[in-house]
Amino acid sequence: MDNFVVELKDICKKFELEHMQTDALKNINLQIKKGEYLSISGPSGCGKSTLLSILGMLDAPSSGEYLLNGKNVAELSDTEGARVRNKEIGFIFQSFNLIDEINVFDNIALPLSYRDNKPSNAEIKQKVEECIELVGLSSRLLHYPKQLSGGQQQRVSIARALVTNPSILLVDEATGNLDSKSGDAVMEVFSNLNQQGTTICAVTHDTRYMDHASRQLKLLDGVFWQNEEIRQAI
């Protein structure tokens, strides 16, 4: 059991909006092993981003238990939660979410500045350069996000997610906003990272890249379905 990086038990998420209730996730059970590359697919609105938000501790489930590296995250305070999020989780957003006011270097270095014992400037520099090289953008360190293409921005956001050596990389629709060439390049990066041992949980509705993953799941209306079940249902 200790082998699981992530373990979800009976996770539900309800959204309440002015007398209307949406069940975005219904009794989700999920385990992700260390070194695994999990791909979750499903149509728009099925709850993928909601699931990733819960995995990334950006949102709390309405009910159920979430163990990250064996620890129940519900028991963490805001500050402890921030520390765990900073240290254990690398999040790659559907919309990049780079900060426009600061340059690529500072964007990538940002998570390090929230460390309890902040690394020295030299260490930060080395770490940032290492990560930018992994995504092949070494020449763009002093650019600002707005000066980069969508694919380049996404690669910066990958570098930012990697800079803290997280236990798990959560990827939300990494290629959704990219053309197929940029998309291929980004997926290539994930495959390489996974081969070097990084645990990845990626979400997409684009079936093209699902084969990169070592395990594939389908989400439909907040529930996981096995492939056969889907076929039967249809």
Ligand X SMILES: Nc1ncnc2c1ncn2[C@@H]1O[C@H](COP(=O)(O)OP(=O)(O)OP(=O)(O)O)[C@@H](O)[C@H]1O
Which residues contribute to the site for ligand X (CB under 6 A)?
Answer: 15, 17, 22, 24, 44-50, 205
Please provide residue 43's backbone torsions phi and psi, each rounded to the nearest 5 degrees.
-70, 165
Q: What is the contact surface with another protein in residues (CB under 8 A)?
A: 49-50, 52-53, 56-60, 78-79, 81-83, 85-87, 89, 91, 93-95, 97-102, 106, 110-111, 113-114, 160, 164, 172
CB of 230 within 8 A of CB of 220? yes
Torsion sign over Cα 68, 71, 77, 79: negative
d(Cα 182, Cα 19) in Å, to the nearest integer?
A: 42
Smallest separation, CB 131 to ligand X (Å): 26
Q: What does 221 interact with, of ligand X, Mg ion, another protein, none (CB < 5 to 8 A by kind)?
A: none
Angle value at C-alpha 96, between 169 and 130, nearest 5 degrees: 55
**Shorter beta-carbon distance to another protein: residue 2 or 75:** 75
- One residue of 38, 40, 46, 49 binding Mg ion per CB under 5 A: 49
Question: In DSSP terms, which residues pair with 126 in a beta bridge?
Answer: none
Residues 157-186 that bind Mg ion (CB under 5 A): none
45 binds, among Mg ion, ligand X, another protein, none (CB under 5 to 8 A by kind): ligand X
CA-CA-CA-CA torsion for 9, 198, 208, 203, nearest 10 degrees? Answer: 30
Please, which residue, 38 or 135, has the CB nearer to ligand X? Answer: 38
Q: Which residues bind Mg ion (CB under 5 A)?
A: 49
